Amino acid sequence: MFVKNWYDKFLLWRSTHIKERHFVLFVCLLVGIGAALASYVIKTSIHFLHTVLTESFSQTNANYLYLLYPAVGLLLTLLYVKFIVKDDISHGVTKILYAISQRKSRIKPHNMYTSVVASSLTIGFGGSVGAESPIVLTGSAIGSNLGRFFKLDQRNLMLLVGCGAAGAIAGIFKAPIAGILFVIEVLLLDLTLSSILPLLITSVTATTVSYFLTGSDAMFAFSQVEQFTLNRIPFVILLGIICGFISLYVSRVMMWNESKYRKMKLWQRYALGSITLSLLIFVFPPLYGEGYNSIETLLAGGDAYKEMLNGSFFYNLHSRWGIVIFLSLIVSFKIFATSATNGGGGAGGVFAPTLFLGCIVGFVFSYSLNEMGYTTYLPQENFALMGMAGVMAGVMHAPLTGTFLIAELTGGYELFLPLMIVSTISYATIMIFEKHNIYSMRLAQKGELITHHKDKAVLTFLKVEDILETDIPVVKPEMSLGDMVKVISNSNRNIFPVVNDKGILQGLVLLNDIRNIIFRPELYERFKVEKFMVGPPARININMPMEKVMHIFEDTKAWNLPVVDDNRVYMGIISQSTVFNAYREVLVENYSELDD
């Protein structure tokens, strides 16, 4: 009772003395701290499990425990999610994208920690995914639940969901700018004057806390071997095109694999996923876990790339082209390992896999050209960095995020121009073939995708059932004109649905169509409704998205349309005027600037 009284008094004091807009900034500070701590816990847990499980592995021979660890990790994660969490926590970024687009600010409290536990088990035991998607869901959940704890309004709650995502990216990568850009480009949060400062505070706070916890060094050690020269721009452009096609391959294969796993039963998915993942990791050890060790190896320079062969059958494969074949096979199979991890019951995202793939693609591209000797030397470390930016920009359709994240991850700001070129070219290339990023493709297939197009966003907030007019009198086909006149005299509408005894829509009676006969009593018994009713220009299904409804209104030029269910049973009438009124209300509620 004491706690509740204190809580109520605090809320009353806050609402009286502190403007909500100012208090939101304080909550953003808390969200940034929480997101950074969650990032630290997940990174530390993954590193601990990875070290304990693999520190005794041989570097010169194949390690058969690779066949066991991934299967154990997927099983532990699956059991944890199924029997403890009892909720779907996969595809974290897609969930947040949907929540932000739909203005649904409620994210369940358990998401503040369950994704951390699940992804730590998955990745620590070798799951070939990244921790970034789970940590984004965790950060957004922290923002949502802190906002609800302090009783903030709906618009601020949605802002905190985005701030939590920004803080999560900033905290796990020590990349504050990339955190903000990720929310804008990938999560599609509208950037307004009221959202800039909260995003900045959350991202900077999360990055600062991460500095205190893990030091101020960049995530990947990188030293620029040579200054970038303009004569390398053609090769940078070519790399961008290649990254665009690799991004397309990743997106299409990922969606294809996901569709196959979805059709299976739970334990069938686990069996196929664990077997596939274990075999791939056994043959190609760099597929184990996030792949950040492999990135560090390729960025180290010199002959360090040969360490990629450690712990595999290919340890002694040090021929000039052997490493190219080995790494090319890894690029081909990485997405299958990632799909097997998530499809088999694991929890993780594609953030780390895109960095991993991009690094290898950039390295193989420059290494191959150098070995052929047809051009001046291309610094392999620099091009590996560019590849990371290119594949990330393509897969996520986020060229700014790709550019700034790689610069902040490595401190490679001297390569800012080529990073931008590769990211832009990669993004432009994949846009020719695929207009949605890998996160929004899932929503696009369901018709639930929202973009920065504000009209479409507002329409998606509206549901047919919420603006349905059900008080319009209905008539029967067998009714006489005289009975129809009585219905008209008691109504102020000019449209009347015609339904049979089973409630199925038969047609419409339009007042303008019968105006010339309703004043002729001698015709009242001669005409039946079925004689003068007309077919509707179109029928709206009760489950139809509002954007499609508006397209139907535009195509038919109708002002009112009947709504039916899947069995063609009449549900009500929807009018353009009702839609426009609801549109204006949602626009004012969700998109107007916050009051000072």
Q: How does pLDDT run across 260-305, given as a tens digit for each residue?
A: 998 899 899 999 999 999 999 999 999 999 999 999 989 887 777 8
Question: What DSSP state is assigned to residue 153?
Answer: -
Which residues in the chain are classed under CATH 1.10.3080.10? 2-214, 230-452
Q: Return the pLDDT at 452.
A: 47
**What is the residue type of 588?**
V
User: Which tens digits make up the pLDDT trace of 186-210?
Assistant: 876 666 667 789 999 999 999 999 9
Q: Return the pLDDT at 322.
A: 83
Q: Return the pLDDT at 593.
A: 44
| Measured distance CA(479)–CA(169) in Å, rounded | 66
| Measured distance CA(154)–CA(24) in Å, rounded | 12
Higher pLDDT, 86 or 38: 38
> Hey, how many other C-beta atoms are within 10 angstroms of the C-beta on 333?
19
Section 571-583 average pLDDT: 81
Residue 265 C-beta-side C-alpha neighbours within 13 Å:
2
Q: Return the pLDDT at 455.
A: 54
| Measured distance CA(182)–CA(440) in Å, rounded | 14
| Measured distance CA(437)–CA(133) in Å, rounded | 14
Burial 380-412 (b: 16+ CB within 10 A, else e): bbbbbbbbbbbbbbbbbbbbbbbbbbbbbbbeb
How big is the CA angle at 15 (ends 196 and 206), to the nearest 5 degrees? 35
For the sheet containing 570-575, what is the strand order? Answer: 540-541, 560-564, 570-575
Q: Which two tokens stand for residue 241?
A: 């095109």
Q: Return the pLDDT at 460.
A: 62
Contact 145, 35 (CB under 8 A): no
Cα–chain center distance at 490: 52
Given a cut of 80, is residue 141 above it in pLDDT?
yes
Which pTM does this prediction carry? 0.79
Section 78-100 average pLDDT: 82
Given a cut of 70, is residue 443 above it in pLDDT?
no
Most confident of the following: 161-170, 403-412, 456-465, 569-578: 161-170
Look at strands 505-510 and 570-575 and give their pairing.
unpaired
Q: Which residue is associated with the tokens 């320079």? A: 301
DSSP H helices, 91-153, are 92-101, 114-124, 132-149
Among 37-51, 136-150, 155-169, 311-325, which is the least confidently predicted range?
Answer: 311-325
E runs forming strands in 57-206: none
User: Which tens digits make up the pLDDT trace of 495-518?
Assistant: 889 999 888 988 888 888 888 888
Question: What DSSP state is assigned to residue 561?
Answer: E
| Measured distance CA(515)–CA(139) in Å, rounded | 62
| Measured distance CA(595)–CA(155) in Å, rounded | 11
| Measured distance CA(527)–CA(565) in Å, rounded | 30
- Residues 6 or more apart whose CB falls under 8 angstroms from that of 52 comprise none
| Measured distance CA(157)–CA(392) in Å, rounded | 29
E runs forming strands in 395-529: 495-499, 505-510
CATH 3.40.605.10 applies to domain 230-452: no
Q: Return the pLDDT at 189.
A: 65
Given a cut of 70, is residue 373 above it in pLDDT?
yes
Q: Return the pLDDT at 596.
A: 40
| Measured distance CA(419)–CA(414) in Å, rounded | 10
Report CA-CA distances (Å) from 40 to 165, 206, 214, 276, 307: 15, 10, 8, 30, 28
Q: Domain 456-591 - what CATH class?
A: alpha beta
Among 27-36, 84-93, 312-321, 453-462, which is the least confidently predicted range?
Answer: 453-462
DSSP H helices, 263-350, are 266-283, 292-299, 322-343
Which residues in the chain are classed under CATH 3.10.580.10? 456-591
CATH superfamily of 2-214: Clc chloride channel (1.10.3080.10)
Contact 563, 472 (CB under 8 A): no
